Amino acid sequence: MSGRVRVQGQRGHLRSIERQSLVFSPDVRLVRGRLFTDRHSLAQCKRAGAPCRAVASREGGFTLLELLIVISIIGILLVLIGPAFTSLKGGTDVTSAAYTIKGVLDTARTYAKANNTYTWVGFYEEDVSSGTPGTAGTGRVVMSIVASKDGTKVYDANSTSIDPTRLIQVGKLVKIENIHLGLLPLGTGTPPGDTFDSRPSPTPAPANDSRFGELNGSPTAPTTNSQYPFQYPVGSSVPPAQYTFQKTLQFNPRGESNINSGLGVGNVPYDVKRIVEVGLQATHGTQVDTISPNLVAVQITGFGGNVKIYRR
């Protein structure tokens, strides 16, 4: 409505309110010359029989006691479900790490076959709390792929390492946080062997010669360090080593895998491993989570080079 609005004042006199434009919603009323914005306030003013100011109120609300009770309930729920979220995060970490490791192994094998050469994958576990790269410890897994420049094995029976000047780096250094390479409970090998508990056992025996775990601990797997470790970085000018990979997996030009890259104790050649396993556990900082049920085993077949992930 436009123009003038005539309202009744307190003493029965008519007053005019000059407005260019007034638009009223269903909840707006004029009572005794006052403007009200909701029915609740309007009713209160009528009962009181006195002038009231225009107010915007709502029905209901919380008392301080009610608010404190709600906050207490929320706090209790957070305490109860907190471990579940931690377990969920740990499960996500180990699953992501498993697929990262699978990708590294697939890359190394594919490169060896495509370029008719030898490749090596190095495993190293370092202290996640240390600011110095290469500090042995727990909490971060480091992986590196190198390849022979000329297609040969590079080393021989008299070698004590793989000459870094005859190697090239394949891809970048891979670092996986919040992960420990552990020795997991062995699978039963019960056919069809598609679950974590029924997965094939690393072979040939002893199992620790056919899997990676506890790289800096005791027992350690593989049970001996490689006779032919390699360093990172590599290059023709022999750069200073940041990492020395003592635990390695070798792929030959046919794509077959071999732990420790060559000769073991007593210069006895290692056979191609039928099944090699990498066990993964979640960590919190430098502490291994031994309570969480989230365990993952990454297995690679020696001859076929196929990689499969088993998760509990």
pLDDT score recorded for residue 303: 86
> Does residue 83 fall inside a structural domain?
no
Q: How many CB atoms lie within 10 A of CB 57?
A: 11
> What is the number of structural domains in the chain?
2
Strands (E), 133-274: 139-148, 167-169, 174-181, 211-212, 230-232, 243-245, 247-251, 257-259
Report how many helices (DSSP H) and strands (DSSP E) the chain contains, helices first. Answer: 2, 17
Strands (E), the chain: 3-8, 14-19, 29-31, 34-36, 119-127, 139-148, 167-169, 174-181, 211-212, 230-232, 243-245, 247-251, 257-259, 275-284, 287-288, 295-301, 307-311
Could you report how far apart the first and last alpha carbons of the chain are, in Å? 73
> Does residue 65 fall inside a structural domain?
no
pLDDT score recorded for residue 225: 86
> Does residue 100 fall inside a structural domain?
yes
Tell me: do 160 and 42 sit in the same domain.
no
pLDDT score recorded for residue 49: 55
pTM over 0.95: no
| Residues constituting the chain | 312
> Does residue 294 fall inside a structural domain?
yes
CA distances, 23 to each of 4, 5, 27, 36, 72 (Å): 13, 12, 11, 13, 45
User: Which of 27, 39, 36 has its CA nearest to residue 7?
Assistant: 36
The DSSP bridge partners found for residue 250 are 120, 258
What's the rounded Cα separation, in Å, for the pair 142 and 123?
Answer: 6
Q: What's the sign of the alpha-carbon dihedral 216, 218, 221, 227?
A: positive
User: Which of 308, 301, 136, 166 has its CA nearest to residue 230?
Assistant: 166
pLDDT score recorded for residue 47: 55
> Does residue 203 fall inside a structural domain?
yes
Tell me: do 238 and 287 sit in the same domain.
yes
pLDDT score recorded for residue 148: 97
Tell me: do 158 and 30 sit in the same domain.
no
> Does residue 75 fall inside a structural domain?
no
Tell me: do 34 and 119 sit in the same domain.
no
pLDDT score recorded for residue 91: 54
Tell me: do 158 and 216 sit in the same domain.
yes
Tell me: do 41 and 139 sit in the same domain.
no
Tell me: do 15 and 133 sit in the same domain.
no
pLDDT score recorded for residue 41: 52
Tell me: do 169 and 31 sit in the same domain.
no
> Does residue 62 fall inside a structural domain?
no
SS3 169: strand
Tell me: do 160 and 280 sit in the same domain.
yes
Residue with tokens 């269903």: 26
Q: Which domain holds residue 120?
A: 89-311
pLDDT score recorded for residue 66: 84
Q: What is the pLDDT along the chain (312 residues), one digit of tens a residue?
A: 444 444 444 444 444 444 444 444 444 454 444 444 555 554 554 555 555 554 444 456 778 888 888 888 888 877 776 565 555 455 578 999 999 999 999 999 999 999 999 999 999 999 999 989 999 999 999 999 999 999 999 988 788 899 999 999 999 999 999 999 999 999 999 999 899 999 999 988 788 888 999 999 888 898 888 888 999 999 888 889 999 999 999 999 999 988 875 554 455 556 678 899 999 999 988 999 888 888 999 999 988 888 999 998
Q: Which amino acid type is present at position 86?
A: T
User: Which of 176, 164, 171 has its CA nearest to residue 242?
Assistant: 164
Task: Give the H or E element holding residue 101.
Answer: helix 64-114
Tell me: do 183 and 247 sit in the same domain.
yes
> Does residue 68 fall inside a structural domain?
no
Tell me: do 93 and 17 sit in the same domain.
no
Tell me: do 269 and 217 sit in the same domain.
yes
